[in-house]
Amino acid sequence: MKVLLKSSFTRTFLLVVLMLVGSEGFAQFGRGQQGFGGRGAYGYGRQRSAIPQANETPKKEEPKTADELVDDEMPAIAEALELNDFEVAVLSSVLKKYVQERIEAQILKLPPEKMREVYGKITERQDEELKAGLPLEKYEAFVELQKNGVAKTIKNNKKKKKKRKKDKG
**Angstrom distance (rounded) from CA 62 to CA 167:** 51
**Which of the two residues, 42 and 107, has the higher pLDDT score?**
107
Q: pLDDT by residue (tens digit) across 40-66?
A: 555 555 666 667 666 777 777 788 888
Residue 140 lies inside a defined structural domain of this protein: yes
Residue 18 lies inside a defined structural domain of this protein: yes
Residue 11 lies inside a defined structural domain of this protein: yes
Residue 84 lies inside a defined structural domain of this protein: yes
Number of domains in the chain: 2
**Angstrom distance (rounded) from CA 97 to CA 103:** 10
pLDDT at 69: 84
Same domain for 164 and 91, yes or no, is yes
Same domain for 117 and 163, yes or no, is yes
Same domain for 81 and 164, yes or no, is yes
Range of the domain at 98: 66-168
- Give yes or no for residue 145 having a pLDDT over 60: yes
Same domain for 149 and 94, yes or no, is yes
**Which of 89-100 are b and which e, b meaning 16 or more Cβ less than 10 Å from the residue's Cβ?**
ebbbebbbebbb
**Angstrom distance (rounded) from CA 47 to CA 6:** 46
For 84, phi and psi rounded to 5 degrees? -90, 180
Same domain for 71 and 1, yes or no, is no
Residue 122 lies inside a defined structural domain of this protein: yes
**Angstrom distance (rounded) from CA 59 to CA 62:** 9
